[in-house]
Amino acid sequence: MKKLLAVSVLMLSSMSVMAAPQSTQGGFNGPTEAAPLVQPQGGFNGPSVVPVLTTVKAASHADDNAAVELTGHIISSIGKEDYMFKDVTGEIKVEIDNKDWRGVTVTPTTKVILRGEVDKDWTVRTVDVDTVTIAK
C-alpha cells in the first residue's frame, strides 16, 4: 500500500511539473470575443467586360445586381444604414453597412465615390454600397 501511495504521489508531482511550462506561455485567459482579422484591401484596378453604371439615372432603371460606381454627394441619413445620394442626374436611396465606411467620414458637401450594386425590389431600386471613398 505504501508503494502504491508513493507511486501516486510521484506521478501527480511529475504531472504538475510537466504542466508548469504550458502555463507560462500565455494564451486564452477568460471570455473574450475574437478580434476580426484585418486583411489589406486590394484587387484589380483596370478595364472590365462587365459594364459599370456611373449615374443615378442609369442605376434607377438597372437590373438587380448591376455594378455601379456613382460620384456625387450623400445628402441625408434616412435610417440606420440608409442614406439619400445625389448626382447630377438625380437621387437614389443607398445602403451603407457600418463596416463599409472603413473610417471615412463625410458631410453633405463631401464629394464621394460609391461602389456597389443595384438592389432591385418589386417597386424600388436602391444601391447596396460596398465601398465609400472621397472623390479627388
Q: Tell me the CATH number at 130.
A: 2.40.50.200
Q: Would you say residue 27 lies in a domain? A: no
Cα dihedral: 114, 49, 53, 112 (round 10)? 20
Q: Would you say residue 22 lies in a domain? A: no
Q: Would you say residue 16 lies in a domain? A: no
Task: Grade residue 84 by pLDDT with cuts at 50, 70 and 90.
Answer: very high
Q: Is the dihedral of CA 127, 130, 133, 135 positive or negative?
A: negative
Helices (H), 1-136: 2-23, 56-59
pTM of the model: 0.65
Range of the domain at 106: 56-134
Of 39, 55, 48, 43, residue with least CA distance to 127: 55
Pairwise pLDDT comparison (44 vs 108), residue with the higher score: 108
Report the number of distinct structural domains present in the chain.
1
Pairwise pLDDT comparison (136 vs 114), residue with the higher score: 114
Q: Would you say residue 45 lies in a domain? A: no
Q: Would you say residue 73 lies in a domain? A: yes
For residues 9 and 30, give the distance between their C-alpha atoms in angstroms, rounded to a whole number.
31
Q: Would you say residue 49 lies in a domain? A: no
The tens digit of pLDDT for each residue in 98-128 reads: 999 999 999 999 999 999 999 999 889 999 9
Task: Grade residue 25 by pLDDT with cuts at 50, 70 and 90.
Answer: very low
